[in-house]
Amino acid sequence: MATGRRLVVLGLLFCGFGCGPGTMYQWGEYQDLLYAAYMEPGSVDVQDEIGRLSDQIERTEQADELVPPGVRAHLASLLYQTGDAEGSASMFLAEKEAFPESAVFVDGMIERMKQ
């Protein structure tokens, strides 16, 4: 209940400057999910979080809009946690393709996953 309200408040707050036509990126639930996962660990089921972020990325790409920095890498890390190494690696590579600045980080993450 408290988390629900929290998400609503944060959602409203961010939509003030985060979801409107004035932003470069489609933020969706990324920051709300970060907040919930940190504040009440276990309050968001990992599979549920994966589903939501995957949907969000898909919808954003279909609309030809921009996925924010780090969202694909965050999803990649969740996929790895659930044992989907292949899905994780391809999502990390998608982060690198969208943002070449992440190359060192992404290559290192993929390398460490193989060990």
38-42: long-range contacts (C-beta < 8 A, 24 or more apart)? 39/3, 39/6, 40/3
Selected binder of another protein within 26, 28, 29, 30 (CB under 8 A) = 30
Rounded least distance, CB 74 to another protein, Å: 5
Please state the φ and ψ torsions of residue 69, each to the nearest 5 degrees: -55, 135
Separation between Cα atoms, residue 97 and residue 78, nearest integer Å: 19
Rounded least distance, CB 38 to another protein, Å: 4
Selected binder of another protein within 11, 31, 54, 93 (CB under 8 A) = 31
Rounded least distance, CB 68 to another protein, Å: 5
